[in-house]
Amino acid sequence: MPIVLLGLSHHSAPLDVREKLTFPADALEEALGRLTSRDTLREGLILSTCNRTELLGHTGSSGARDGEDAMREFLAAERGFPLGELDRYCYRMADREAVHHLFRVTASLDSMVLGEVQILKQVKAAHQAALRARSIGAVLDPLLRKALGVAKRVRTETGIARHPTSISYAAVSLARTIFEDLSGRKIILIGAGKMGELAARHLLERGIASIYVANRSFPRAVELARTFDGEAVHFDRILEVLEKVDIAISSTASPQPILRYEDVVRPIRARQNRPIVLIDRAVPRDVGRRVNTIDNVYLYDLDDLAGVVAAGRAEREAEARHAEEIVRREAEAFHTWARTLDLSPVIADVRRRLDRVRVDELERYRSRLAGLTPDQRKAVEELTGSLLNKLLHHPIRALKGAVQGSDVPDRIRFFREIFGIHDAAGGSEPDIRDPAAGRQEESDDSDNA
């Protein structure tokens, strides 16, 4: 029952690669349908944020390597990225390592900002998208639910989320490297998202004089501007406002840059050499890279912000060690549980096989039992069923004990040989697109065993 993961993040790939491999939120469900239409993947999930794109899959009876290759080919084809180039930036994980990684990511232990809360919301959104697309079931659905639960436990039991050095705070720090005194400065927020709002609050605390808010949805711009006693501007007036402000923070969901060199150069020159700080938080980026070549323009992107964030990480390392131990134990417990799912089909096959023998033998002795009353016949049925459960109790316990070791496939093969069950005989794995199927199979083989 391999769980496989293929991904890249700020640890493994630069921003100009990450932005080419993101999945827009409104295209996620269709992409999940294409991902799980591949024969090797029975379940699939896509987590796509500004700092990472990760594909998680369950391969059923296929091997982990086949599942990883399928996800690799899918990612390259979907984003139009060369396969050979993709291999330079992607990491692959399977089973225990993949589970542990997912738990670390969800608990924000792998984030650019240690302890940030945004990733928890992003994993939850990816989970909900996969549920709507029906691309996850009896394996990945409980895995995602467990990951979210572990992240909440980490936030409750450790201090990792207390006063994190956020990306928004880092944006303020970079602005102060250009303008030592921020009082009296003017700012424009391009995009009315949460992270831009947080950055604006930090800047206002340091004396920013006025704030403009531009958003494609003008009513949303009006709403956010009102909270800051600022001014909402229409999206097509951004270049006009750039002539007035000292700091611009952009974070939109545009697939293409909204501020290109040829657009920006005129309003910047109209500023008469006054410096301007452009902070681009978007992935894909909102500001074309050539803009940084214009005199007195200081352009920073997410990778620049990461350096500022890293400086504040040390003070949270002690809490992170506690969190890592929680994640390690929870990941190991889930891995052990997940391996028991491999046992469900063989246990169900053996029960079916032996119960068929029991019924056949009762039928063979029907003439000898003809004199029994209905109650007596029912007692014989119950007695033979109980004997079957008693005889299977210890073999099934021994088989379930195998999940702690590395020889599970050998144990399953031996168990089938003992009871004369071939892989092709009996039942098949439950339909894992139905979360209830796996739970039912588990309850069936837990009685008296």
Whats the size of the chain, residue-wise? 449
Tell me the three-class secondary structure of 172-236, residue by residue: HHHHHHHCCCCCCCEEEEECCCHHHHHHHHHHHHCCCCEEEEECCCHHHHHHHHHHCCCEEECHH
Sheet holding 247-250, edge to edge: 231-233, 210-214, 186-190, 247-250, 276-280, 297-300
Q: d(Cα 207, Cα 78) in Å, to the nearest integer? A: 46
170 within 8 A of 195, measured Cβ to Cβ:
no
Is the sign of the CA dihedral 325, 115, 127, 90 positive or negative? negative
CA–CA distance, 235 with 210 (Å, rounded to integer): 18
Q: What is the DSSP letter of 165?
A: -
Q: Which residues are catalytic?
A: 50
Name the nearest CA neighbour of 232 among 244, 215, 249, 245: 215
Tokens standing for residue 50? 């500004």
Measured CA distances, 330 to 127, 153, 154, 254, 434 (Å): 19, 10, 11, 38, 24
Closest alpha carbon to 275 in 308, 256, 300, 251: 300
Which tokens belong to 278?
Answer: 């452009």
Distance CA 37, CA 71 (A): 11
